[in-house]
Amino acid sequence: MKNLFVLLILQLFSIECILSQIITVGETGDYPNLEAAENFISPGDTLLLQPQLFQDGSQFLEDVNGTASFPVVIKAQVEHQSIFRVGTEAIHLTNCSFLEIVGIVVEQQTGNGINIDDGGDYNTPSKHITIRNCIFRDMASNGNNDLLKISGVDSFLIEQNQFLNGGDGGSGVDFVGCHWGTVQDCVFDDPGTTGIQNKGGTQFIRMQRNIFKNISQRALNLGGSTGLQFFRPPLPDLIVDAFEAADLEVFSNVFIGNWAPIAYVGSVRVKVYNNTFYQPLNWVIRVLQENTTSGFLPCSDNEFRNNTVYLPNDLTEVNIGPNTAPETFIFSNNLWFNASDNNWSPNLPVTDVDQVIADPLFEDSMGENFKIPFNSPAVGAGITFANLLADFEQVTYQDPPAIGAYEYQNPVLDKVGVGTNAPQSVLDVVSSNSALIIPRLTNTSAVTNPVNGMIIYDLSAHCVKAYENGAWSNCLNLE
């Protein structure tokens, strides 16, 4: 019976494989646009977008569902050559699941770039959505318009995307009531007022290994202010212990020149670990409570640890608003440096335990290379966290880790030069008045684990010996 069950599962799996199809979308494809193909999409299908401009207006796809084994994939045939231009939105997904969007360009919309939601009913959230290697750019509106708007979506992955030149009042990514997602390896360069906004009951989101730069207000809005009717899941009639955002993780990101890199806004249990903040413009951190409805928790119990903060001059490190509980925050193992004042220290709401105040010695900050050398005060000065594994370049953190977004890496050299900057072999020794000295040992037995190719100077025999074919040679005749 067990074997019959396994055979049945394999047969069903094979049937889905056979039924999966490639559907071309474009001027000379199977269908001219995504909406035209909607009713013919099955789990496992790939919608291959031809390299062209798509200017058909908003493409609405509803109840398009793949499976865990057979997702529906919407993919550019040629990377970044399928361009969705103008319209209110490029694509609007409602109540979709196990769906991936890969390699497209979204530009010049007037509403949102891409919109993904639950149709206003969180009982049927969109879920298992992946957005990968896409470019969102040049929003054609300056209101509250987002390059990527996501509402009521659970279990998602947003990775390797670029969010560029957004609207003056919008966000690169705006989460409203979203859960269990990851945003990683993305670039947010002038994406709007905010890089990523997390509000409306958003919870369990990890943001890691991203770059945030040139953002006019809050690079990360860890919370916000949401109309009560938009929370997911819906708020009860009697509101108790509610929050705008909770249990967010901000790990190993790089922030360059933003007005306020981090804003905790009506959020709780948010962890900001091992990030590098370079030359923030006005504040490093904001602690705010914008939703003061009865039953909401104050902004509290958040953490800021293992971060490197490099300031060009004096500013207000932490801006604290009313109705918050900054005394409940944890600060520890952060490295702070003010390039304009050697006698400076940050003004923080609580003690920054094991704080370091020193120049982190970035390799090339002008070139936006924030790696650290072996003698950086950040090396080994952090505290270890089990859920923090890798740095900005996915190098495993040491135990204890470095402070900041980069772990120190021992250089791996394929050539070493002594007396020369241009070695021509694995080891190239150049000298006009000296010589190479090989190891001088009492005798060959001093070498505990010899391997073929070793050479030594045997002090007892007064000669050079080599280890070859699993044994030490007699004295080598070097005449």
Residue 428: the pLDDT is 81
DSSP state of 242: B
Task: Show the tokens assigned to 17.
Answer: 């494989």
Tell me what pLDDT residue 417 has: 76
- Nearest to 476, CA basis, from 467, 466, 441, 459: 466
Which pLDDT score, from 0 to 100, does residue 11 have? 46
Find out whether 405 and 278 touch, Cβ atoms under 8 Å: no
* pTM (2 d.p.): 0.85
Q: Largest alpha-carbon pair distance within the chain? A: 97
- Report the SS3 class of residue 199: strand
At 419 the pLDDT is: 80
pLDDT of residue 13: 44
Token pair for 193 = 């007022």
Spell out, as residue ranges, where the chain has pLDDT lower than 70.
1-18, 412-415, 421, 478-479
Structure confidence at residue 190 (pLDDT)? 98
What was the pLDDT predicted at 411? 73
pLDDT attached to residue 3: 58
Interval 248-283: pLDDT, tens? 999 999 999 999 999 999 999 999 999 999 999 999
User: What is the per-residue pLDDT across 204-230, written as a single tens digit (0 to 9) for each?
Assistant: 999 999 999 999 999 999 999 999 999
